[in-house]
Structure 1
Amino acid sequence: MLCAQGVAAPLMLSSLLLQLVRANLPSGCLIASDILSCTNLGLDQVPVELPVMVATLDFNHNRLEHLEEGSFAGLPNLDTVRLAHNQLSRLTPGTFRNTSNIRHLDLSSNQLNIIEEHYFQELVGIKELLLYNNHIVRVESKALSGLSNLQKAYLSHNRLTDFPFFSIQEHPNLTTLDLSSNRMPNLPVKDIEALKEKIQSGLFLHNNSLICECSMYSLFKQWEYRGFTSVTDFWEEHTCLIYGEQRAMVRFLKHVRYFDNCKIKPPVKKVSMEAYAGDSVMLDCITSLKGKHLNYSWVSDHYGYIAPPFSNNTLRMHSNGSLEILALDINDSGVYLCMVQNHQESSNDSLEVNVTVQIRRQEDEPFNTGFTTLLGCVVSLILVLMYLFLTPCRCWCRKQHIPATPNPANECSAQSSILTPTPPATTEGPGRKMSQSRPAVTQQPLAPDIWTTRAFPQ
C-alpha cells in the first residue's frame, strides 16, 4: 500500500502541473503527446508557461511582433519551433537562450529585415533554418558561419542584393543554400568557386536580377555540365538581363547565342586514383590542348604550388606535365589540380586528380589448388592402406577350436593344422603319451575353392 502511494504521488503531481499549464494556455491550443499547437489564434505573444515535455511548438499564422528573451527556455526536449506567418521584424538578443536542442526553426513569411549576427548564436544544434518570404536585405557575415551543424538554409523570396559567400567557404555541413528569387545583380564568382563542391551543388540562384556577363554564364555552364540539381531542376528559371535592362531578359541556359563570344572556362575534369603507402604513382595531366608551348603546373593542399623544373626525394615533375610521387605517404591523400595554359592561343585547361592512399595489409598466402589436390590424394592412399592392413579379421580367419578325432593318426588337414590352437598329439617320441580316442569329424570347406585334405597313415 505504501509503495503504491509512493508511485501515485508523483503521477498525481505531474498531472496537476499539466492541468495548471493547460489552464494558462490560450483557449484553442491543442496538446497532442509532445506537440503544442496554437495556430491561427490571433496571438500577439508567446505564452509564458509552456508544457515542459513539449518537443514541437507550432505558433504559425498568428500576430506575433516580438519575442521576449528566453521565450523558449526550460524546455529540454524542444526540437522544432514554427513561427511562420507572423509579424516578426527582428529578434531580441537572447531569444533562443538555453535552447541548444532546437534542430528546426521556421521563421518564414515574417517581416525580418536584417539577419544580425546574434540572432541564432545560441542555436548550436540547428540543422534547418527557414527564412524565405521575408523582407531581408542583408545577412551579416557571421550570422550563419558559427552554426556548424546547419545543413539547410532557405532565404529565397527576399530582397537580397548580395550575400557573404566568403563566410561559408569552410562550413562543415551545409548542403543546401537557397538564394533564389532575390535581387542580386552580380555574383562574386571567385568566392562562389572557392566553396566546397557539396555547397555549390546545393546553391540555388535562379530568378535573380543577374546582369548577363561571361563569368556568370561560365559558372552556370560548369554547374550544368556537372549535373548539379540546383541548375538542372530549374533550367528555364535561370535568367539574366542584357545590359541590365529589365525588358531584355533572356533564359541564358536555353538561348546561348548572346554568349558566343565569351571564352567559357572549360569544366574541370575529375579522375580518382587509389594506391598503397610506399608505392610510386604517376599523375598524368591529360589535356585537350595541343601545341609545343604548353605550360604545366600542379597545386595540392599538401605540397602547394608545383611547377617545372621540380624534383626532390618525394616529387618529380616531368616535361610532359606528369607528376610522379616517388613514395606515397598516408598524408599524400587529397586533391591534385593540374593546370595547363597555352599563352599563344590564350586558352587553358585543368584536371583534378583525387588520390586516396591506403595502408597495405598483410595478405594471406594464396590458395594453392595443386598442393591441396596432391595432399588429398596422399590422405586417400593412407586411408586405403589402413583399411587393408589394419582392419580387424573377419570371422572366417579367427582361431577356431577343432574337436579331436578318435584316432590321432587318422584325419589331419593342412587347414586344421593352421587353425588348431595346439599341435596334434603323436605316439612317437620319448615321454609322449598316447592320445585318447576321439570321434571322427568330417572337415567342411571353409571358403570357396579351399577344401580339406586327408592324410593317410604310412
Structure 2
Amino acid sequence: MRPISSQPLGKTAVGGSRWNPAAAALLLSLCLGFPPSLATCPPCCLCASDIISCSGCNLSMLPSDLPGYATRLDLSHNTLTVLPVDWISRPFDRLATLVLSRNSISRIEVDAFTVTPHLLHLDLSSNRLTALNSSIFAGLEELKELLLFGNQIVQINPGAFSDLYSLQRLYFSGNRLTTFPLGLYWEPGGPRNLTFLDLSYNSLSEVPVQSLLSLTRHCAIYLQKNPLVCDCALLALLEYWMWKQYRPLVDFRGEYPCRDSSGPEYECSLEVVSDMPLEAQTYQVEPGKWLRVPCPGLATQGQEGLALFWVTPRTVVNSSTDDPTAHLIVSPNGTLEIRGALIEDSGMYWCVAARGRHYAPDESLEVNVVVGNLSTASTGGSARGSGAEYFNTAFTTLASCVVSIILVLLYLYLTPCRCRENRGGRSRGCGGRAFILCSDPSEVESGQRRSNGKRVAFLEPQVEASDIEGPKTPAMNLGHVTTEGILKNGSRTVGQTLTDTAHIAEARK
C-alpha cells in the first residue's frame, strides 16, 4: 500500500507535543475526505474547510500548488501584476468566489478564467487595469457579479463581455470612462439579465438619454459624480427620474451637478409648460385608425425642436425620428401619432420633456391608450386575460346547467318500474321507496286515475308481507290526491287533501 505522506507528523515529548502546521492541514483534509494530493496548503496561506485565504502575503506570483477543493479563494492585498492563462495548475471546478482586489494587476490574458467555469463572484477592484480586451472574461458563463471599481479603465473593446450571459451586477465606479458602454447591452453574447450598473465617479460628459429610458425599466444605473453636460434631453431625463422616484437618482440627487452652472433650463421650458395640474388621461381608438396624443403639461403650441421622448409599452421614440412610414411618430410640438393602431399598442405611455418644475405626488405624466372597446380592452393586454376568464366562467356555468338537466331527465324518465302488483293485488315487496313512473293502462284500474295527470309519486317503504293471506290494501289511493303528489316522509304540499283517514294513517307510517 502507498504511504499517505513521507513527511513526519512531528515529534512528541513527555508532557507536551510539537505540532507541524502541514501535518495539521493534512489531517484536516483527511477528515474532510479530500485526497492528500490536492490538500496541501501553501505557506503563508490559511486553509479552512473549503476556503483558502492568501491575503496579505506579499505574493508577486501565484502559488502553483493551490488546493483544488476550494469554493472561495482570496488573493487580495498582494503585488500581483499579471494574471496568466496558467496561473493555477489544475481546474477549480468548485470555485464560486475569486477575490483579486488590492493588487497591481494591469493585464489579464485571454482565457485566463477558463479554469474557473463555475465562478459566480469575481472581484478585480482596486487594480491597474486600463482596458478590457476582447474575450477577457471568456468561460465565465455563470458569473453573476463582477467588481471592477477603482481601476483606470478608459477603453472597453468590443466583445469584452462576451460569455457573460448570467451577469446581474457590474461595478464600474471610479474609473476613467468617457463614453457610456452601450455595447454591454447590445453586443451578441453579452449580459441579458443585468439589473445593476454602477458608473459613478467616471468622466462621462453625456449619456444616451433615449437608451437610458429603455434600459432603466429593468436596470438600476448609477451616474452620480460624473461631469454631465446639462442639455434639454438630460434635464428631461432627470425630471422624469425624480417623478418616478428612481432610486439611483433619489439617493444621490445632490451629486448630479452640471458642468455649466447656468444651464439651458429656461430655454428648454420656455412657453411649453402648462400651469394646469397634470392628470392621467385616457385615449381610445379603433384598431387600424390613427390616434394623436398630446404631451401632458405642454402648451398646445409646442416649441419647435424640443427635446422630447415618449416611453411606450414596447419602445422609446423621440421627435428626431424622420421616417414617415414609422408606426409611432413624434411631431415637432410633442404630439405622439399612432398610425394604424394595433391591439398591442394598448397600455401606459409617458411623455418625457423638460418642463422646468417639480411634480406633486398626485400629478401624473401617464397617458392611457386603449385600442378597441373600453369594456374589453385594458392596460397592458389585461383585457384579453379578463375576457378569457369571463369566457371560462360562463362556459363552466353553462356546462353545469346542461349536466344538471340531463341528470334530472334521466332520473325522471329512465328509472325502471321495479314494483308491480301480482294477480290478486298483492305486492311482491318493494324494499325502499318505490317509483311509479309507468303509465301502462293495464295496470291502472278504471276507477283510479292520477289527479292532474301527474305520473310521479314518492311512497314510503312498505313492509313485506308475502306470508299474510288475503289481498293487501294499497298504501295510498291516488285517486284522492288533489295536488301534485305526496312528499317524502308523508308530508303534504299546501292545499293537499286526503279523504280517507285510513289512507292518511298508512301514508304517515
* 1:112 correspondence with 2:118: no
Contact kept, 8 Å, 1:156 with 1:179, in 2: the verdict is yes
1:262 alignment partner in structure 2:
268
Contact kept, 8 Å, 1:272 with 1:355, in 2: the verdict is no
1:400 alignment partner in structure 2:
468
* 1:53 correspondence with 2:69: yes
TM-score by length of 1: 0.59
1:187 alignment partner in structure 2:
206
Identity rate of aligned residues, in percent?
25
Unpaired stretches in structure 2, ≥5 consecutive residues: 1-26, 274-278, 305-309, 316-323, 330-335, 354-364, 370-378, 416-431, 437-456, 474-501
Q: Report the Cα offset of residue 339 of structure 1.
A: 9.0
Counterpart of 1:204 in structure 2: which amino acid? Y
* 1:82 correspondence with 2:99: yes
Q: Report the Cα offset of residue 228 of structure 1.
A: 2.1
| Match runs of 1:162-181 below 5 Å | 162-169=179-186, 171-181=191-201
Contact kept, 8 Å, 2:130 with 2:153, in 1: the verdict is yes
1:130 alignment partner in structure 2:
147
Counterpart of 1:306 in structure 2: which amino acid? H
* 1:35 correspondence with 2:56: no
* 1:306 correspondence with 2:306: no
Q: Distance in 2 between matches of 1:376 and 1:154?
A: 69
Question: Quick one: structure 1 residues 38 and 101, their matched pair in 2 at CA, closer, same or farther if it must change by over 3 Å?
Answer: same
1:215 alignment partner in structure 2:
233
Contact kept, 8 Å, 2:60 with 2:81, in 1: the verdict is yes
Q: Distance in 1 between matches of 2:35 and 2:224?
A: 49
Q: Distance in 2 between matches of 1:324 and 1:337?
A: 17
1:152 alignment partner in structure 2:
169
The structure that has the greater radius of gyration is 1
* 1:140 correspondence with 2:140: no
Q: Distance in 2 between matches of 1:272 and 1:17?
A: 67
1:408 alignment partner in structure 2:
none
Q: Report the Cα offset of residue 131 of structure 1.
A: 0.5
Q: Report the Cα offset of residue 63 of structure 1.
A: 2.3
Q: Distance in 2 between matches of 1:270 and 1:19?
A: 70
Contact kept, 8 Å, 1:399 with 1:419, in 2: the verdict is no
Contact kept, 8 Å, 1:285 with 1:351, in 2: the verdict is no
Contact kept, 8 Å, 2:153 with 2:177, in 1: the verdict is yes
SS of the residue aligned with 1:262?
Answer: helix
Counterpart of 1:394 in structure 2: which amino acid? V
Q: Report the Cα offset of residue 208 of structure 1.
A: 1.5
Question: Quick one: structure 1 residues 241 and 155, their matched pair in 2 at CA, closer, same or farther if it must change by over 3 Å?
Answer: same
1:312 alignment partner in structure 2:
none
Contact kept, 8 Å, 2:135 with 2:161, in 1: the verdict is no
SS of the residue aligned with 2:326?
Answer: strand
Unpaired stretches in structure 1, ≥5 consecutive residues: 1-11, 249-256, 274-278, 309-319, 342-348, 402-416, 421-446, 451-458
Give the one of 383, 395, 405 matched to 1:365.
395
Q: Distance in 1 between matches of 2:266 and 2:60?
A: 56
1:79-113 Cα offsets, whole Å, 9 max, x none, are 22111112212212332134332221101112222
Q: Distance in 2 between matches of 1:56 and 1:216?
A: 42
Q: Distance in 2 between matches of 1:158 and 1:294?
A: 39
1:70 alignment partner in structure 2:
86
SS of the residue aligned with 2:233?
Answer: helix
Question: Quick one: structure 1 residues 258 and 163, their matched pair in 2 at CA, closer, same or farther if it must change by over 3 Å?
Answer: closer
1:434 alignment partner in structure 2:
none
Question: Quick one: structure 1 residues 304 and 366, their matched pair in 2 at CA, closer, same or farther if it must change by over 3 Å?
Answer: farther
1:242-274 Cα offsets, whole Å, 9 max, x none, are 26xxxx9xxxxxxxx9723324999xx99999x
Counterpart of 2:68 in structure 1: which amino acid? V
RMSD across aligned positions (CA): 5.2
